[in-house]
Structures are given as C-alpha cells and as structure tokens.
Amino acid sequence: MMDAPVTETQPAATLRLANVLYEKKNGIAYVTINRPKVLNALSTPTWTDIRTAFENARDDMAVQGVILTGAGNKAFIAGADISELSKATPLDAERASRFGQQVLDLIENLGKPVIAAINGFALGGGCETAMACTIRIAVDTAKFGQPEVTLGLVPGGGGTQRLPRWWGRVVRCSSFCRPR
C-alpha cells in the first residue's frame, strides 16, 4: 500500500518562514529579512528562508516583481551573522559562501524585477544582496560597503564579480537631482 502524497496545506500567499516575512499583494511579492535585533544579519537559516521566498516568487505566475527590504530602520542587511561565522570551520565557511552565491544568483536571474528597498546598512552580504537586485532604492542615510576586505577576507557572495559590473550603472543623484 502506497502512502498518500504530502501536499502543501498553507496557501503560498501566507508562506511562513522563521527569519523572513513573505507576503504577496497585487502581483508584488514582499520579502523582508526579519532579524532587526542583529541588523538582519545573514545566517544559514536566513539564507534558506530567502531562497524559499524567491523560489516561490519565481514559480508563481501571478507575481510580477519582488520588493526586498530589511525589518527595522537601521539595516537592510548588515552582512553575515558573526556568531555563526565564529564557529565555522573552513569547510563550513566554503559551503556557506557557495550557498549564499546560489541564492544571490537566484535573485539576480529571477526573470522578474527585484527592487532592493535599502533602509540602512547594506554591508558585506547585504551589499552583495543589493547588487544582485535589478534596482536599488536607498534612504539618504544608507551605508554600503564590503568591510570584510579590511580583514583580509574576500567577499563571499560574489561581490568581487558583481561590484565591477554594477558600478558602471551607478548614478549619483546628488550631483544633478537637486532643485536649483
């Protein structure tokens, strides 16, 4: 006798994730990294939740685009979860880096526009996540950076490849957008 197939009991619009809020309204998927106490730092479970949300958005034909942001008003994503990194072996770090790269590749190649609504720090993996998005809109106080290079580390999510491609498309609004 065969077991009955397992079916999803939760509608996709109310996908429940531990570290990410996911909601769909009027053809837009809203993905919010929800770890404001640690400035929305990227842990392995958070990367997994981000992947799940973006796979859902990719596969849902009703979703026409995604808005990605961070909870709270201090950080979009302030980088890797240092408490997790401090316990990682070199092999763990390599696996985590490759997994993060895969998630960012999913975002970059989603086939639908992804808007990064940057509401504060976008550092390390946060900066790399913003660079993977189609469009980046930031508050005036947003801070971007790859601080790991000052520690002799290579950006783990593909920042060394995305930054040169992205930089050519950056326009500094302050030089010509101010009223005269």
Place of tokens 């302050």: 174
Lowest mean pLDDT among 8-22, 43-57, 153-167: 153-167
Beta bridge partners of 75: 121
Structure tokens that stand for 111 in this block = 């086939």
CA 112/CA 58 separation, integer angstroms: 7
What pLDDT score was predicted for residue 6? 44
Domain 15-175 classified CATH 3.90.226.10?
A: yes
CA 70 vs. chain centroid, Å, equals 9
When pLDDT is cut at 50, 70 and 90, the band that residue 8 belongs to is very low
Active site positions, annotated: 128, 148
Per-residue b/e over 26-56, b at no fewer than 16 CB within 10 Å? eebbbbbbbbeeebbbbbbebbbbbbbbbeb
Lowest mean pLDDT among 1-5, 14-18, 131-135: 1-5
**pLDDT digits over 133-163, tens only?**
999 999 999 998 776 656 555 555 555 555 5
